[in-house]
Structures are given as structure tokens and as C-alpha cells.
Chain A
Amino acid sequence: MSSVVEAGPGRGMSALAAARPTRPGALSSTLTFAWRAVQKVRRDPTQILEALGVPIMFTLVFGFLFGGALAGSTSGYMQFYIPGIVVFTGIMISMRIGAVVNLDNSREVTDRFRALAIWRPAAIVGTLLGNNVLYVVGCAVAVAVGLAVGFRPDGGVLGLLATILITLVFVFSFSWVYVVCGLALKSPTAALSACQAIVFPVSFVSNFFVPQETLPGWLQAVVNLNPFALTITAARGLAHGTATAGEVGAALAGCAALVAIFAPLSLFLYRRRA
């Protein structure tokens, strides 16, 4: 009978010996890292609380504070403001990516990943994808709070889903800026500060609070190049069922530009890590 048990190496630690499977593909490795990010959210639910705070606070405080002054009535303002809040929620709660990437990169476990024969960007791309669980929660809360305060989108459920979808595409693209901060700076705190220093001008120099037509001409030119503003324009159109192919195309082009610039820069910094 023992011969059955001892098939194989037949030594005391035979569980140490394992056959070598084939090298995993880029997609498989990326999804594995996405799974890792989801496990971390599951293990630390305070991250979800953060994702709830932003949409609730910004909708209630700024919506009611500015609504009457900016649009004449709060309910009128909400029709304009809420799709922007969805995108803003995404850009705000994804800011933590800078600190996450920085911490990861300073840990020895990254050496282990880097010493594996996997597609190098999988660790970062997977982290970005996995964190979508947080963004979906945040965007859904933004929509729910909006509906509660009188937001009535003409695009219906499909329009709202499209709004959230384009937000997720934008957040994935903009996250590469955070990844660059995370990899370029020395500490998680420094990375987070840099992310904040970038987010505030990007989100306020935009059509987030007010329509860009009310801005001076030179500022409109800047806003028209801001991928955050382009995404908000598309998100408003999608929510209310008025989006044109041009608006959605411009938003996607802005996202593509972010990825084209910041993804290669991130991967350069990731490779360079000593």
C-alpha cells in the first residue's frame, strides 16, 4: 500500500515538489492582480466607507449651497450637477491609488512579483482594475443620493449605466497619473499630497460646478482640453440621453491621451526601481 503513497519523489517533503505549469498569459496575470486588489478591499472595509463619504458630502454640501445661486433653483442645478458628481467621485476615491502603488513598491513582495516570468504591467493594471469595486460603489451612491435630492435624468437606467461606465473608463485612464506620483515619490504621504495637488486644479478648472460657457474665453480653451471636463460633458449627455458621438468621442480621446502619456511613464518608473 505504501508504494501508492510514495509514488513520485517518495521523500519526506514530497509536497515540496510540484510540476511546472505553463507561464500565465498577460490577461490571466492581470486578472489575478485584480483579484488581489478585491481581496484587500474585502479585508479592509473602511475603504468602502471612504467611497461613500465623497458623493454624499459633495452632493449635499455643494449642491444645496451653490444650486440656488448658480442655476436659480436647487432642483434645476441637480440636473446639471449630479453627472459631474459621479465623475468627481471617481477621480477623488481613486486618489488612494498613488499611496497604494507607493506602498506596494516599497515592499519586498514587489521583488517577488518582479522576479516572476509574468507580463510586467500586470501588477499595476490589475490593481487599477480591481479597485473598480470601490468606484462602482461610489458612483452608485452618487447616483442614489442624486435621485434622492431630485435628480431626474432623461436617459433612464441605461443612461445612468452609461454615465457610470464612462466614469470608470476615465478613472482607469486618470489613475495612471496617480501611479506616476506613487512610483516617483518617496513615501505614501508624499504621493497622496502630490495626487491632491493635481486633482484640485484638474477638477475645479472644469465645467464641474458651472457650464464652461460662463467662463472667460482663455479658460474655456483650457477646460476644452481637460479630460475630466470632457468626461463630464459626455456623462451629462449620456445621463440625459442627449450625448453626441462627438462628445463621447472627445471624452474617450482624452482618456486615450492620458493612458498614452502616463502608462509608459509609469512602466518606465516601475522597471527602474532599484
Chain B
Amino acid sequence: MRKSYGEVRAVDGVDLRVSAGSVFGLLGPNGAGKTTIVRTLATLIPPDSGEVRVLGHDVVREARAIRDRIGLTGQYSSVDEELSGRDNLVLLSRLRGFSWGAARRRTGELLATFGLEEAASRLVRTYSGGMRRRLDIASSMIVTPDLMFLDEPTTGLDPHSRNQVWELVRGMVGEGATVLLTTQYLDEADQLADRIAVIDHGQVIADGTPVELKRSVGSSVLRVRLRDAGQRDTAERMLTEALGTAVHTGADRLELTAQVAAEEEATLALAGLSGAGIGLAEYAFGHATLDQVFLALTGHPADGSRAETEEAA
């Protein structure tokens, strides 16, 4: 799939396969091309080239067959601010083909399921971010879609609302829906997705299960936190020697992380530090986080600030 806007190649040769009944995560910073991919798959914009089939149908020639079976929840809320929550759901139930009576019944069920009964008569304009997102997802669940697109479903939500959205996504998958989720949060992809494609500059730079992705970068990661920042240089030198890999230091002056090929090396390195009298406040040994995966794959952190600067330029 390719898609350009003038000179900008928003999507540059993306090839994805999403299997039914799973959650597929598209992970990347702002401006990576995630939304363009979702909009193409949801039949909103045609691809410039490439064959794109969704649920067995071509996105250009058989768009209506796809639209019958998908749900789309856009990056900002795809709900009507000037209507009440109830009227939003009645409207969309009617547009899915329910009679007025059935539309009202379905709306009642969804308002209850999504915890929106009390706010049902209020204009959506007055809703909090979390309520708006719940209404948004409810609007996509009026008929259970075979494929649900969630474009950055938790961007801008507080942790409590984010957890609610995650539970809803798990519930949808429990009902047999396939979910294609975009996110710039690495822990979100890790929590929800069965498979992840990492997108940068309109290209897939890696894909696999979360575990595979983490393994591909280098098996495991040792993280230590020093008691005394003055011992940092000594600790960094000793770890580099013991592990034979680069040691990363972050914004936190007490923390050091390094990739580890074999567990024994980590044990020996820790013993070495303690033998040299370097006190550790804490240490952890485990799989790489997706943040580290992103850094290793792209050479820059997944903070999105770089992409935003480019867009502004």
C-alpha cells in the first residue's frame, strides 16, 4: 500500500496481514503514517497503489461490503458534539438499519454497558474525555463489527479512563471482533496487541508478537539503580566490561541499563559491582520494553517530538 500527499509519502510500501479474532497493533510516533493506513483500510481514502483487501473485499471496488462490517473510532472523538449521547447512539443505530424502536432499545443497552446512562441526555460537548471515548467506542459497537479500527483510543485520557478503554477492547475481542489498534504508547501495544507492526516514516520497520519484537532486539535487559551518583562512571565502566555491550544512561542520573546476552553474565556483573563496593538501590532483570525496541530499531526514541517538528517545517 502506498499513499502520498504531494511530496510527502505518508505511507510508503506497507504490507500488513491481520488475522481474524486478534488485536493487531500499529505502533509509531506522530506522523508515522498510522492514521493514513487506518483511513485507507476503512475505505475513507483510496490507496495510490497496491492491492488492499479488508475482510476479503477490495477497499476501492467493494467499499460498501466492507463498510457493512467495520467499526471506526477515529483519533479524536468521532461523535456529534451537538447531540446528546443518547441521540448519537439512536442516530447511528438507525444508520445501521435498526427501526426507531429497535434503535432506542439498542441505545439503552449500550448506555448501560458503557456506564453512560446518567449523562445520556446531556450534550456530548459537556462530556469528559473518558466519557466521550466510551461513547465513541459504543457507537462502533452498535452492531458487533467483524473488524474494528481504533485510532489512538487512549491518547489524552487519564489512567483510569485508559484502563476502562483497555477493558472494553478486551471485551470486544472476547466477542470475536478483530481489532486494529494504532497507538504511540508502547505499553498499550504490549498490553493489548497479539501482533505489532512498528511504523516509522510510512514504513513497517518491524513486526511480530510483542515477545518476538523484544527478543529481536537483544534478549534481555539489566537495569540497575545506584545509591550514589558519584559512582556512576565506575559502574558504567564495570558493566560495559562485564557484559560486552553498550550501557545506556538516561535522564535519571542514578539509573543504568544494558542489554544482556545470557543470564549468567548479568549475575556476574552484579556480583562485580557489589565486590567493588558500589551500592545498588534496586536492580531488575527482564525482557526489553517496547521503548527500548523502538530505540534499537529506529535510532531515536518513540516520543514523536521529532516527527512533529518535521510536520511543522
Neighbour of B112 across the interface among A15, A18, A39, A111, CB < 8 A = A15
Neighbour of A32 across the interface among B42, B68, B95, B172, CB < 8 A = B95
Also in contact, A108 and B175, with CB within 8 A (given A18-B143, A23-B97, A43-B82): no
Also in contact, A29 and B74, with CB within 8 A (given A20-B143, A116-B67): no
Complex Cα distance, B74 from A21, in Å, reads 24
Neighbour of B95 across the interface among A17, A22, A44, A116, CB < 8 A = A116
Tell whether B18 is near chain A: CB-to-CB under 8 Å: no
Q: Taking CB as reference atom, which chain A residue is nearest B139?
A: A112
Contact, CB under 8 Å: B72 / A18: no
Which residues from chain B contact A23 at a C-beta distance below 8 Å?
68, 97
Q: Which one of B102-110, B251-259, B280-288 is at the A interface?
A: B102-110
Tell whether A197 is near chain B: CB-to-CB under 8 Å: no
Which residues from chain B contact A114 at a C-beta distance below 8 Å?
44
Interface string of B22-46 (1 = CB under 8 A from A): 0000000000000000010011110
Q: Which one of A6-14, A167-175, A235-243 is at the B interface?
A: A6-14
Neighbour of A117 across the interface among B64, B81, B83, CB < 8 A = B64
Interface string of B124-151 (1 = CB under 8 A from A): 0000000000000001111110000000
Neighbour of A24 across the interface among B75, B94, B123, CB < 8 A = B94
Interface string of B96-118 (1 = CB under 8 A from A): 11100010001001101100000
Q: Taking CB as reference atom, which chain B residue is nearest A36?
A: B91
Contact, CB under 8 Å: B91 / A35: yes
Neighbour of B72 across the interface among A17, A24, A111, A117, CB < 8 A = A111
Tell whether B213 is near chain A: CB-to-CB under 8 Å: no
Neighbour of A112 across the interface among B74, B143, B174, CB < 8 A = B74
Tell whether B279 is near chain A: CB-to-CB under 8 Å: no
Tell whether A61 is near chain B: CB-to-CB under 8 Å: no
Contact, CB under 8 Å: A21 / B102: yes
Contact, CB under 8 Å: B87 / A39: yes
B270 to chain A minimum Cβ distance, whole angstroms, is 44
Contact, CB under 8 Å: B91 / A32: yes
A107 to chain B minimum Cβ distance, whole angstroms, is 8
A127 to chain B minimum Cβ distance, whole angstroms, is 12
Contact, CB under 8 Å: B42 / A115: yes
* Nearest 10 interchain pairs by C-beta: A21-B97, A117-B67, A13-B171, A108-B74, A32-B94, A15-B113, A112-B78, A108-B78, A115-B72, A24-B97
19 extra interface residue pairs, beta carbon distance < 8 Å, beyond A17-B175, A113-B95, A116-B67 = A9-B175, A13-B113, A13-B174, A18-B109, A18-B143, A19-B143, A21-B143, A32-B95, A39-B83, A43-B82, A43-B84, A107-B81, A108-B78, A111-B44, A111-B74, A112-B72, A112-B139, A115-B44, A117-B67
Chain A positions near chain B (C-beta within 8 angstroms): 9, 11-24, 28-29, 32, 35-36, 39-40, 43-44, 107-109, 111-118, 274
Q: 28 A–B contact pairs at CB < 8 A?
A: A12-B174, A13-B172, A13-B175, A15-B110, A15-B113, A16-B113, A16-B141, A16-B171, A16-B175, A18-B143, A20-B68, A20-B144, A21-B97, A23-B68, A24-B97, A32-B95, A36-B83, A36-B87, A40-B82, A40-B83, A108-B74, A108-B77, A109-B79, A109-B80, A112-B139, A115-B43, A115-B70, A116-B95
